[in-house]
Chain A
């Protein structure tokens, strides 16, 4: 633009001068960052007996827990921004881990091809969820709740029928276990940081890039913000949503693989309850329940916060039953804070 065509934008008297702090506060992820910092320093005080601040082993503990939440929370957040829920994301971890156990111990498959089949299973479940939602136009809350219960029953009954027990054991007896274990669930240093943490960071970076910088990301915002308008301007809304469902259940399958390789066995009830933790991470990260708004980076900090709470309560030698109460409190505080920040930032005229 040449200087002659228009006065410079800064001359606009309606533009309230926004300082760097004000600009920062508009971002949806800032509440989660501040919350994570607050929780970190709270436990630095309450868990000072185990030297929360200085012991790398402590950090290895909570990052491991945070990674378990954060990996699947990323696609769950994208799906929420796209206007849908997936309540089967938790149980899918169990189903996928059990499937890996079944293929390796009962079918004597090598771990690597078994992993490929499990990921394909994740894609298929996501496809079923997604197609059901866009075809029937039923709320995804209901559709994926049904998937959740169907899989929960299959996990329990199938495991019992196969093993006579509630878990599939001895996954480490399969060929290819050691190399796969290193890649998905190995350790990084002698402080016991896990490779899982790198998966968490990597998936966060990819998710954040997709949302902010890709055409698909624009479609996610559009599909969740106003599906009708998005369709009118040519966004393939149905395809976008189906892909998001497939990303979610496939990432849950990846998490199942990681857990099965880490624990060397898989419980039939594994993963159940995590679906709500993922949603809490996304909401703490600034995602709206109504879709169209949210942040992957914020979700990362949300997962970090919940991981710290989970381990911090143990490290502070409190009764770990309080964890749920803390999670509920964090969810409520995050929603209030996000609403406050958003209404301040986007006050309509």
Chain B
């Protein structure tokens, strides 16, 4: 370890009883970078996120923020360090409007003395500005989140995390439930967040989604790291081969071409 990274995991392990969920995993991410965590189902991706976001605590190894060792007792501790996690279920209420969702639990208020009210004008203005800065095109901040497509919802969740001061953004399979085109949209916002100086940890099982946006790739398999690669050291074919073991290459190649065409 040389210079201090924004967030670093150093040989962390996690056991559930006598099951080894994660064994000596190391990775890091810096501001304005995307580190991808790749792995098939059961590889330990979810366990890994839970360690980074403070839901669980590692049984061995160290977590470091800005080079200092940290212990997250709860997700709140992680959030206090600027680590925001966007889970698959997105923590959004479908029947509520975009602006109400955006500020749920952190409503801006104004008022006199004890009489305080939810400053909805400011909330709507901020939502419009934040989303347009991310290049997200919402038609109407009053529309219920339930009427947004999966990709749009994911994008709003990312914008919300960025607005509330996330330095590290952990994205849990943000593209897995989406079609090719929608996934492309979300990948664009991942890059937008990166360009705004956020460190992004992008968890996925899809190397075709990871490769175009990642600066660094950590491949997990059955709780162990198959290696960490800088983008310069690995090409897409190799990444796919590592992920898939070479067997399903033909089908994957087809999907790859679709993505290529989509991302231009």
Given contacts A229-B90, A233-B91, A346-B144, contact A221 B105 (CB under 8 A): no
Cβ 8 A contact of A15, one of B91, B100, B139, B144: B139
- Contact indicator A229/B107 (Cβ below 8 Å): no
Q: Indicate if B118 sits at the interface (CB-CB under 8 A).
A: yes
Most chain A CB within 10 A, of B91, B100, B147, is at B91
Do A213 and B90 touch across chains, with their CB atoms under 8 A apart?
no
Q: Name the interface residues of A214-257: CB closer than 8 Å to any CB of B.
A: 214-215, 217-219, 221-222, 225-226, 228-230, 232-235
Roughly how many angstroms separate A6 CA and B137 CA in the complex, as a whole number? 10
Query: Which residues of chain A from 1 to 21 have any CB-CB distance to chain B below 8 Å in the complex?
Result: 1, 5-6, 9, 12, 14-15
> Once A and B bind, how many residue pairs between them come within 8 Å at the CB atom?
83
Asked if B139 and A230 sit within 8 Å, CB to CB, the answer is no
- With contacts A214-B117, A215-B109, A234-B106 taken as known, whether A222 is within 8 angstroms of B93 at the C-beta atoms is yes
Nearest chain B residue, comparing its CB with the CB of A291: B95
Contacts of B87 in A (CB 8 A): 232
A200–B116 CA distance with the chains assembled, in angstroms: 23
Instruction: Indicate the size class of the contact surface on chain B.
Output: 20 to 34
Find out whether the CB atom of A235 lies under 8 angstroms from the CB atom of B104. Answer: yes
Q: Does A349 contact B (CB under 8 A)?
A: yes
Q: Report if B120 contacts A (CB, 8 A).
A: yes
B96 in the interface, Cβ–Cβ < 8 Å?
A: yes
Inter-chain contact B93/A348, CB cutoff 8 Å = no
Chain A residue numbers with a CB within 8 Å of B236 are none
Nearest A residue to B123, CB-CB: A218
- Verify B106–A233 contact, CB threshold 8 A: yes
Question: Would you call A69 an interface residue if the criterion is a C-beta within 8 Å of the partner chain's C-beta atoms?
Answer: no
In the bound complex, residues from chain B placing their C-beta under 8 Å from that of A225 are: 93-96
Q: Known contacts A213-B118, A233-B104, A235-B104; decide if A221 and B93 are in contact (CB<8 Å).
A: yes
Cβ–Cβ contact A213 & B93, under 8 A:
no
Given contacts A213-B117, A213-B120, A229-B91, 7 further A-B contacts (CB under 8 A): A217-B118, A219-B104, A222-B96, A235-B104, A288-B95, A346-B146, A346-B147
Task: Give complex CA distance A349, B140 in Å.
Answer: 15
| Residues 115-173 of B contacting A (Cβ, < 8 Å) | 116-118, 120, 128-129, 132, 137, 139-140, 144, 146-149
